[in-house]
Structure 1
Amino acid sequence: MRARFQHGFRRLEVSAVPITQCAVAAGLAWFVAYNLVGHPRPFFAPIAAVISLGVSLGSRLRRVAELVLGVSLGVLVGDLLISWTGSGAWQITLVVGLAMAIAVFANGATLLVAQAASSAVLVATLLPPGEAGGIDRCLDALIGGAVGVLVVAVLPTDPVGPARRQGRALLDELATVLAMTADALRARDASAAAAALERARASQPLIDELRAALRGGQEVTTVAPLHRRRRRVLGRFAELAERADYAMRNARVLGRRVYTALENDEPVAPELADLLGELSAAVRALTDQLGREGDRERAREPVLDVVRHVTALSDGWAGGPSEQVIVAQLGSIALDLLQATGLTRADALAAMRDQRRI
């Protein structure tokens, strides 16, 4: 029970700023629409503000545009049809179907289509034909969306923190996959190798979450002047996302080859399991240095040590087909990790060649 409360408070701590943003935006949107614009019941202004923000970072600017466009489309279709046909069950069916069809035809996203449908329903059920409330609702949506963007600019979340957390989670998963594969190879356990491979294949959501965090951070730096200087840091995390993605793909290829070799009872040099474990430790070293200014160079040394040890093992050693694939994938993952530390591909290859000459 205590652990559950601790996790709950930790989640609340992480979401404290987004929750504050939503609360402030909702109140401010109502104030603007009611007191400054003069709408008597501006219920949709705070709703639009909260929807445009959400509790988590994401594509907020796009969400605001989809929100306003969806509302406007639903109100337009609803006002036009209800003024001709009146309200009723079949009129609502027609209005919702037509509004959603137009939104889908325009290649609308989920939020746009949903808002078009809900706006059409509200116009058809709550607003008498010919009443100007539908136009007011469009303006409320615009006010709420604009207030949401303003609140992000004035009370911005940390644009780098979510990307750093997701980057650590992805690298931790890569290190775990490599360690599990090493243990399977060391024990010559095909079922353990299959479990490691399955875990590697299930890692795509972590990559997607990192990219979503990067998009959210980039939006914050776009609308919040105080955070624009952090674009360079986000650029480094964007490169990390690409390289970690490639590294995980190579880990899947490596894991599949290890599983095949063990399933077919092929001979595999036991030293390769040690190299896999060493590479896993190198990934954890990179995780420890993640986000620290000037410390990325330290994370390269463990990776270069792996390259040197792979070279020492493979020199003058032909190896079987599976062993050659494993060695090749070890080199590919090392290349990805060196690029994740900030080296260009050419510089990373040069550093690897230098290790092979030692």
Structure 2
Amino acid sequence: MVAAGRRGADGGVPARAGDTAHGGLADTVARLRDRALATVRERFRRVRAVGGLALQAGLAAALSWFVAHELLHVSQPVFAPISAVSTIAASVGQRLRRTVELILGVTVGVLIGDLLLLVIGTGWWQLALIVVLAIVVALFLAGSAAVVIQAGATAVLIATLSPSIRDLEVPRFVDALVGGGVALLVTAVLLPLNPLRVLNRAARPALDLLVAQLDATADALAERDAARARTARSALRQNKGPLKAFVEATQGAREASTLSPVHWHQRRGPVGRYAQAAEPIDRAMRNSGTLIRRSVTLIEDREPVPEPLPRAVADLAEAVRLLKRQFAAGEQPDRARKQALLAVETAGHAYREGVGFSGAVVVAQVRTTVSDLLVATGLSQENANRLVRRSFGGL
């Protein structure tokens, strides 16, 4: 019975095919379970993120209908709640603009529709001409997609319904005004979002991405692991979505802190500092991308990696982490500044110990990224550059 007594090279009984298949199935089930849980968590996170928006939209729709129907006696104020929800659904930071666009688009559609109906009457070709002219005028006046859509839609209603429904123009205009106005009232006074929370929620993915890839690059440099550095380089390239969300959130935070009396005090405080940080953080992200790319080349070319170099990149990651925490808490980012300058000082030690061509670029990018972070904390570019030179060693 040779087969029965056969053993593996290590003296143990080799795994049977059934065991291997069972293990593979278990791994697959575990991966699917983890993926399903991650999907559920992401969807719950998405619901939490927009839960306030849903409440604002519901309140604005109901209140706009009540105002138009009960107070202004519009018989069928369908467009009022539609305008309110459309304004709420606009990107945070563009709601005042959306209200103005709604009113402008409706006004253009009403004027063009009424004037042409008086001259050319009704019919299929008159409808086509009215819509074309309304859209052309809207494009000339504003060029916004929202204005164009509202102008065209209103022109259609005027051209098709005015012959059978009297005085349609005034209710349409009132609906747009009521819906947009109520939406602003809800978002600014009745149910305002906390602008600092909006900023935190939007900035976290971008800053977490930057921290994670700088940490990974520091480890890759310390271990001379080019594959890990390449992974960090690829991951950081996926930053356009988070950065765009962050920039849009700064507009929303400014709008909320301007329109909402509850948050006026934050406009020049933590919200103002946070909002002004978006552009320099964008630059820091791009400069960090160059840092990581040169780190890949440094490792692949087997250039010297002095011990302070990976530590400098790790210090830079910690500076971004502190910046995120202090912004989220509404604090002055003093600790983040000190940590960023420590990264420059450490990079200076690495430079003086001796680096190759790519290593020198990594050092330079640490300096440049720190300068961006210092500007993000509220310093002028001139002061940031001066502090970087001093911390590096006067070079």
Q: Note whether the superposition's TM-score is higher than 0.5.
A: yes
| Aligned counterparts of 1:294 and 1:224: Cα–Cα separation in 2 | 22
* Structure 2 residues without counterparts, runs of 5 or longer: 1-35
Residues 266 and 282 of structure 1: CA distance in aligned 2, closer, same or farther (over 3 Å): same
TM-score between both structures, scaled by the size of structure 2? 0.80
Q: Distance in 1 between matches of 2:101 and 2:154?
A: 13
Moved more, 228-237 or 76-85: 76-85
The answer to whether 1:148 aligns with 2:183 is yes
Q: CA deviation at 1:62?
A: 0.5
Structure 1 residue 185: deviation in Å? 4.3
Query: What is the match of residue 343 of structure 2?
Result: 306
Q: CA 1:356 to 1:329, structure 2 compared with 1: closer, same or farther past 3 Å?
A: closer
Rounded to whole Å, the distance in 2 between the matches of 1:356 and 1:255 is 20
Between 36-45 and 283-292, the greater mean CA deviation after superposition: 283-292
Residue in 1 that maps onto 2:195: 159
Q: Partner of 1:325 in structure 2? A: 361
2: distance between equivalents of 1:108 and 1:66?
10
Which is worse superposed, 144-153 or 190-199?
Answer: 190-199
Correspondence 1:171-250 to 2 at 5 A: 171-186=207-222, 192-231=228-267, 232-250=269-287
Offset, 1:66: 0.4
CA 1:321/1:74 → structure 2, altered by over 3 Å: closer, same or farther?
Answer: same
Q: Which residue of 1 aligns with 2:53?
A: 18
Task: Output the aligned Cα RMSD.
Answer: 2.7
1:287 corresponds in structure 2 to 324
**Residue aligning to 1:134:** 169
Note the alpha carbon deviations across 1:258-285, whole angstroms, 9 max, x for none.
Answer: 344556x362425433432332233223
**Structure 1 outlier segments of 4+, above 6 Å:** none
What is the CA–CA distance in structure 2 between the aligned matches of 1:225 and 1:209, rounded to whole Å? 25
Aligned length: 355
SS at match of 1:343: coil
Select the structure with the greater relative contact order (CA < 8 A; seq sep ≥ 6).
1
2:293 aligns with 256
What aligned pairs does 1:85-124 form with structure 2 within 5 A after superposition?
85-88=121-124, 90-124=125-159
Match of 2:97 among 47, 58, 62: 62
Matched with 2:18 is none
Residues 151-184 of structure 1 deviation map (CA, whole Å, 9 limit, x = unaligned): 2232211111111222222211211232343455
Q: 1:103 to 1:72 in 2, by over 3 A?
A: same
- Report the CA distance between 1:132 and its aligned residue: 1.6
- Asked if the contact 1:103–1:113 (Cα under 8 Å) also holds between the matched residues in 2, the reply is yes
The answer as to whether partners of 1:79 and 1:129 remain within 8 angstroms in 2 is no
Cα offsets for 1:322-343 (capped at 9, x unmatched): 2221111111112222333333
173-182 vs 189-198, which moves further: 189-198
Which residue pairs with 1:77 in the alignment?
112
Distance in 2 between residues matched to 1:283 and 1:66, nearest whole Å: 39
Q: Is the 8 A contact 2:107 2:151 kept in 1?
A: yes
Give the letter for the 2:132 counterpart: G
Tell me if structure 2 keeps the 8 A contact 1:19–1:55: no
The match for 2:374 is 338
Q: Deviations over 1:6-52 (max 9, x none)?
A: 44444333323322222122112112211222211111111111111
The question of whether the paired residues in 1 share the 8 Å contact of 2:93 and 2:256 is answered with no
Q: Partners in 1 of 2:123 and 2:296 — Cα distance?
A: 64
Query: Is 2:336 the counterpart of 1:315?
Result: no
Question: Contact conserved, 1:57 with 1:216, CA < 8 A, in 2?
Answer: yes
Q: 2 CA distance for matches of 1:235 and 1:314?
A: 37
Q: CA deviation at 1:248?
A: 1.0
Structure 2 residue identity aligned to 1:334: V
CA contact (8 A) 2:77 2:175 kept: yes
SS at match of 1:290: helix
Normalization by structure 1: what TM-score? Answer: 0.87
Q: Percent identity?
A: 39
Measured against aligned partners, the alpha-carbon deviations of 1:210-257 in whole angstroms (never above 9, x if no partner) come to: 121121122122221121001021111023212211111211222333
1:43 — aligned with what? Answer: 78
TM-fit CA distance, 1:296: 2.1
Secondary structure of 2:123's counterpart equals coil
